[in-house]
Amino acid sequence: MTNPIINTIEQRSTTSLYDASRDISNAQVTELARLATLAPSAFNLQNWRLVAVRSADAKARLRAVAWDQPKITDAAVTYIVCGVIAEHSVMPDRLAPVVAAGIMPQEMVPGWTGAAKSLYFEQPQRARDEAVRSATFSAMTLVLAATSLGLGSTPMIGFDPQGVSREFGLAENEVPALLLAVGYATSENWPQKPRRPLSEVLEVV
């Protein structure tokens, strides 16, 4: 039953300590972001944006609004993974390339747009949930891609969202859903933590 994906899922663990002397290339920073955006999103909304914090100055500014966590300055990069508040008016724009590629018939676009409107229009909690969901789909994809390349990764929620938005000029409709550090882990990190028994978390009906 084991295969490389399952091995990666089983072996992944969250990195706490990074080797600050080892960088990754700009090409890797970009490639990881590209892979993250291959994650699924509702209606192909792709309502995410990544700010890759790479420079010493930017890392210091991020650390100052993120509980002073050393990971942020030690890791090669920390992505601010933003979800964008879901909104149906972008749908024709997001679906046009799908139509142009011959995948989706043009006649389906109004139906999808209407479905998105029925979910999000004047439904701020649902629109925010969608932002967090899409951002997290992309973040988890990035985590497993990084693991497969021998890199450590750290999803983080210990930060001041207003501070992050201000320091990095996030738009009104962008929710910083999590921070995600990536880089080379030192050998002293913890292994994957034990999980709750499956009987507590799975019900089959």
Q: Which of 17, 20, 42, 85 binds a second copy (CB under 8 A)?
A: 42
Residues 138-177 touching a second copy, rule: CB under 8 A, are 139-141, 143-145, 147-149, 155, 157-158, 168, 177
Task: Tell me: does residue 201 bind a second copy (CB under 8 A).
Answer: yes
**Residue by residue, what is the 3-state secondary structure of 166-177?**
HHCCCCCCEEEE
Q: Residue 133 Cβ, how far from a second copy at the closest point, in Å?
A: 5
Task: Tell me: does residue 52 bind a second copy (CB under 8 A).
Answer: yes
Note the helical H segments in 41-90.
56-64, 70-74
Q: Residue 21 Cβ, how far from a second copy at the closest point, in Å?
A: 21
Which tokens sit at 204?
């089959």
Task: Tell me: does residue 104 bind a second copy (CB under 8 A).
Answer: yes
Interface mask toward a second copy for 4-33; x: CB under 8 A:
xxx-xxx-x-x-----------x--xxx-x
Question: Which run of H or E residues covers position 4?
Answer: helix 4-11
Q: Residue 128 Cβ, how far from a second copy at the closest point, in Å?
A: 8
Cα separation, 59 vs 75, whole angstroms: 9
Cα separation, 25 vs 31, whole angstroms: 10
Task: Tell me: does residue 34 bind a second copy (CB under 8 A).
Answer: yes
| Residue (20 or 39) nearer to a second copy, CB | 39
Only one residue has tokens 């938005």, namely: 165
Only one residue has tokens 């009104």, namely: 172
